[in-house]
Structure 1
Amino acid sequence: MNPQRARILYLCMGFWILMDSGWAADTGRVYVALNDPVLLSIPGYPNAERDQVTWKDGKGNTMGRFRDSSSYKQIPGCECELFSNGSLYLKRMGTVGDETYKVEVHNQKGNLMKTGSIPVTVIERVRSPVLNHSCTGRQIALRCQVPEGPIPTNMKLSWNDKVTEKSGTRTLEITDKVKSGKLSCLVWNHLSRANQSMEIECPKDTPGLDLYIMIAIAGGAVTFLIFIITLIYFVRRRCCHQESRNGKNVGVMSPYQWGLV
């Protein structure tokens, strides 16, 4: 047999085996906002109008099935809809959490053509951040906080030319010596983002107050020094006066007082 024909034959046989046994395809995670709809398509299989399609939820319950585009069965109570190309439309995702939906495609002979898994995560939209600041001494304290709702995936705080970023938290705080400028905060998750900004200008420091404090401290020190000097002066003067009086008394003593007579 011609080698080229043999290669073509092997390729055809491989393709036939693949078509007969079916192949699996998974897709990346799909993020959906709470109470929003979502459309799930068959991964790598855009059109299944002539095939049999079955969709199941994460618990293995059948959500819908059709044999072709004109004959289908939808499970009662399911807030969903089957489209003619095999896609599943979920009208409302009412619970926060993760769930993996599975789909199977068979041809009209019953042979498995395709299987797929689609992980779906339902989350809430991130809330708008709240900004706060405090002018203390020679610094300013800045805060960005998301007090309610889901924890943001990331949070970015911008103060003038400085940017600070943190993940998996509700609060981000920084301090800086520059006490005026623009404060911005951006928070986001896999589905949404929100931001808030404000202009800040702290009251300028009053140099006179520091001067008065320094003068008061210096005045107190001088007063204390004068008090010490005055105290030493009077103590020494008293001692000298006492010694002088004792010397005068010694000078006028009679011979009887000295014991000479």
Structure 2
Amino acid sequence: MSFRRIFLVKCLLLLFPSVKCSSSSWVYRAVNDTALLSPAAALLPESTDQVTWSRGRQRLVQLRGSSTKHFVNKEQCRCAMLHNRTLQIRRLQAEDSGTYTVMAYLQGKLQAEENITLFVQEPVPQPILISKCGNKNISVKCEAKQKAKDEAFLIELIQPNGKKIQKNATMLEWHGWNPGTFRCVAKNKVSEKMAEKVIKCPGKMDFYLILSIAGGAVFFVIFVICLVYCIRRKKTKRREVYDEERAMHSLPMDSKRGTRELPQTPPKATPKQLRVQQRPLPPQPLEQPLPPRPQPRPRAQPRTPNLPRERP
């Protein structure tokens, strides 16, 4: 109950003591926990002499003066009223959920009444984060299997870019393309659990890797082409310089003047030289043939030896 509401109730009780005041609130507790249902102090003034807690039409416990009276079995109810008029319920079960009413009396007259609604919930199970990489997107599934029937809780999926998707269900699916860290949160009023997973699809990462490799390969090919062109151009320049130096060294140089000697043209022949060249040459004597060289004598053939005559 808010401070403003308590203040208004106090003002009404001071201005109109005979007016009956009522209020309501909500309390959430987990199974096997202990619930303390405390009424608002403004609704239960100290002058009251009787306080009764009930659930529906069933009275549970009554405090009159300093004595306490139970209308149900203590073990079955698992409830007790404290001295400050707070109802205590131990080892909560799902069937303990409901609306509890506290009524304050003064000399048999009802002075105030308050309704407190108790919600007993199971703790949420551990969520499971499942991912699947497709050709063009990423599929993420956040699932938490609920234990009790007809009980839903809030499930939340936090994407890498910080966006949240919430739904009152036990399963949540998301389809996108950006990888990163995903968080799956399952929570209700009494508990909260989370699962976290880093999702990186190889296909998505390979796209950028292939793109970078292709760019590097193109750059390398361009670099090789430029390098080959520069080397060939340098070789061509060196060859031209070598040819020029070779041509310069092939021409005769005058050691004294240091100038090139051009080939001299033959002088023109005079008429006298022409007449001399036109005269016929005197006949040359014929060369007599040399006598033949003497041939060596042939060697005499060896005589055959005389065989001895045979005697008659």
TM-score (norm 2): 0.54
SS in 2 for 1:29: strand
Structure 2 match to 1:23: 20
The amino acid across from 2:92 in the alignment is M
CA deviation after TM superposition for structure 1 residue 149, in Å: 2.5
Structure 2 match to 1:54: 52
- Could you tell me which runs of 5 or more consecutive residues in structure 2 were left unpaired when the two chains were aligned: 1-11, 211-312
1:168-179 mapped onto 2 (5 Å cutoff): 168-178=168-178
SS in 2 for 1:128: coil
In the TM superposition, what whole-angstrom CA distance separates every residue of 1:142-167 from its partner, at most 9, and x where no partner exists?
Answer: 11011233554322212210524232
1:94-173 mapped onto 2 (5 Å cutoff): 94-96=93-95, 98-107=97-106, 109-149=107-147, 151-173=151-173
Give the ranges of 4+ consecutive aligned residues of structure 1 lying more than 3 Å apart after TM superposition: 14-18, 44-50, 150-153, 204-207
- Could you tell me which runs of 5 or more consecutive residues in structure 1 were left unpaired when the two chains were aligned: 1-13, 211-261
Structure 2 match to 1:8: none
TM-score (norm 1): 0.64
In the TM superposition, what whole-angstrom CA distance separates every residue of 1:212-250 from its partner, at most 9, and x where no partner exists?
Answer: xxxxxxxxxxxxxxxxxxxxxxxxxxxxxxxxxxxxxxx
SS in 2 for 1:138: coil
1:74 aligns with 2:70: yes
State the identity %.
25
CA–CA distance in structure 2, aligned partners of residues 113 and 102 of structure 1: 13
Structure 1 match to 2:92: 93
Give the paired residue count: 190
CA deviation after TM superposition for structure 1 residue 97, in Å: 6.7
CA–CA distance in structure 1, aligned partners of residues 144 and 84 of structure 2: 42
CA–CA distance in structure 1, aligned partners of residues 105 and 94 of structure 2: 31
SS in 2 for 1:160: coil
CA deviation after TM superposition for structure 1 residue 32, in Å: 1.6
Q: Which structure features the higher share of strand residues? A: 1
SS in 2 for 1:127: coil
- The CA RMSD over aligned residues, in Å, is 2.7
Distance 1:124 1:49, change over 3 A: farther
**Structure 1 contact 28–119 (Cα < 8 Å) conserved:** yes
Distance 1:24 1:96, change over 3 A: same
**Structure 1 contact 156–163 (Cα < 8 Å) conserved:** no
**Structure 1 contact 152–170 (Cα < 8 Å) conserved:** yes
CA–CA distance in structure 2, aligned partners of residues 140 and 26 of structure 1: 51
CA–CA distance in structure 2, aligned partners of residues 56 and 136 of structure 1: 58
CA–CA distance in structure 1, aligned partners of residues 14 and 170 of structure 2: 55
Distance 1:131 1:111, change over 3 A: same
Higher Rg: 2
**Structure 1 contact 152–187 (Cα < 8 Å) conserved:** no
Which of 25, 29, 33 is matched with 2:30 structurally?
33
